[in-house]
Amino acid sequence: MSKNNSIYILGGVTAFLFSCTGPVAIIISVALSGGLSDQHVASWLFGGFAITGVYTLYYSFRYRQPLSFAWTIPGTVLLISALNHLSFEEVVGAYFATAGLIFLIGYTCWVQWIMDSIPKPVVMAMVAGVFLDFGLNLVDAFNDSLPIAISMVAAFLMLSVMPNLQRLVPPILGALVVGILVVIVTDSFKESDPLGAWLMSPLFFMPAFSLKAMIELVIPLTITVVVVQNGQGFAVIKNAGHAPPINSMTKACGTGSVLLALVGSVTMCVTGPANAILASVGKREHQYIGGVTYGVLAVAFGIFSSSMTWFALKLPASYIAVLGGLAVLKVLQGAFVSAFGGKYSMGALVTFLVTVSGISMFNISAPFWALVMGASVSWLLERSE
């Protein structure tokens, strides 16, 4: 390995470490709240890493750009309310429909038009409302386990104020490691069954198509992927001087989402944070090496996702709550700033209030109605601003 390439490989490792810490904690939190089995969680992680890793490998090498894919975190959190009244097979059916719609958007080159048509503050207010519980759970963890919460937050803050050090050790990774050390010292591991197999044998799910699941999940998932996640990811890549193949990558999110749905994983997207890390290292023409590194590590993680899941589920709930909360702080901050920092703030406020209310009408949960009501208010009251 040449010295010149080592910085790009390190960038790929750093981006991967970010993706396999806080985002995985969010998956674990959602899975626990939805009553999903350990095997299901492992299969979800297999799809979320191994399949998206293959796409990352191909696109980064093919276009010589850092082009990484992952799963939609806001889309993951939508399941908290959906699994209260939908079967998982119905959720998978919505995943398939979402995948088809995303592919169609990429195929018809409507991506930019959709991004420009939907008020972004309204969408970001929905994201803020969906993620709010993770921030509140972070605060609640101080009641449940003070040593774990204090140590993890302290590690996160210390690394956050040391820019040189956090390039090597991301704050979320530091919180993860310190938290595990405290769990070991305090012997806070949960009882669990012995580890079955190190290598993953994914589960496969057949879809069940229901109108209520289509209405509740497909539009919010599609908007979240195309407007929020992909929009952020493409902006990061463009700001670094690259020219990402937007329509091709959108179609890839569609085809990849079909494969993810088969193994119980949420919809695929272009990742913003990981691409931001990859695009911040070294010279632009060599940054794709970091993308390839990220892809290789993601595939490896997916192959061993059963053992990773077994270990993660032994950790106390307070640990998962703190890690998940810390992971979404920046996203939550950015969502509030985007939602209430300018035009369409009234529509954004309505969207946020409806989302956090948890209202359900016709067995369709709050995020869908939040988008409908918020966009309607903006159209009626704010379109001339």
Residue 362: its pLDDT value, please? 60
* Mean pLDDT confidence for 189-209: 76
Indicate the pLDDT class of residue 384, thresholds 50, 70 and 90: low
Residue 57 has pLDDT above 50, yes or no: yes
**Average pLDDT of the chain to the nearest whole number:** 83
DSSP assigned state of 194: P
Residue 358 has pLDDT above 50, yes or no: yes
Residue 197: its pLDDT value, please? 64
Distance CA(129)–CA(367), nearest Å, equals 8
Residue 381 has pLDDT above 80, yes or no: yes
What pLDDT digit, counting tens, does each position of 134-193 carry?
A: 788 889 989 988 999 999 999 999 988 887 777 677 787 788 889 889 988 988 777 666
In this prediction, what percent of the chain has a pLDDT beyond 70? Answer: 93
Most confident of the ranges 24-38, 200-214, 216-230, 245-259: 245-259
Residue 1 has pLDDT above 50, yes or no: no
One-character DSSP codes across 283-333: -GGGTHHHHHHHHHHHHHHHHTHHHHHHHHTTS-HHHHHHHHHHHHHHHHH
Report pTM.
0.73
Q: Are 65 and 237 in contact (CB under 8 A)?
A: yes
Residue 2: its pLDDT value, please? 46
Distance CA(172)–CA(179), nearest Å, equals 10
* Mean pLDDT confidence for 245-271: 93
Q: Are 248 and 106 in contact (CB under 8 A)?
A: yes
Q: Are 281 and 290 in contact (CB under 8 A)?
A: yes
Residue 291: its pLDDT value, please? 92
Write phi, then psi, for 377 (nearest 5 degrees): -65, -45
Q: What is the largest CA-CA distance in the chain?
A: 62
What pLDDT digit, counting tens, does each position of 288-322 carry?
A: 998 999 999 999 988 888 787 777 777 787 887 88
Residue 34 has pLDDT above 70, yes or no: yes
* Mean pLDDT confidence for 198-218: 86
* Mean pLDDT confidence for 18-44: 81
Q: How many CA atoms lie within 13 A of 323 on its CB side?
A: 29
Distance CA(128)–CA(115), nearest Å, equals 18
Indicate the pLDDT class of residue 4, thresholds 50, 70 and 90: low
Structural tokens at position 273: 């944070």
Q: Are 195 and 256 in contact (CB under 8 A)?
A: no
Residue 363: its pLDDT value, please? 56
In this prediction, what percent of the chain has a pLDDT beyond 90? Answer: 26
Per DSSP, the three-state class of 88 is helix
Q: Tokens 């979404």 correspond to what residue?
A: 328
The amino acid present at 310, given as its one-letter code, is: W
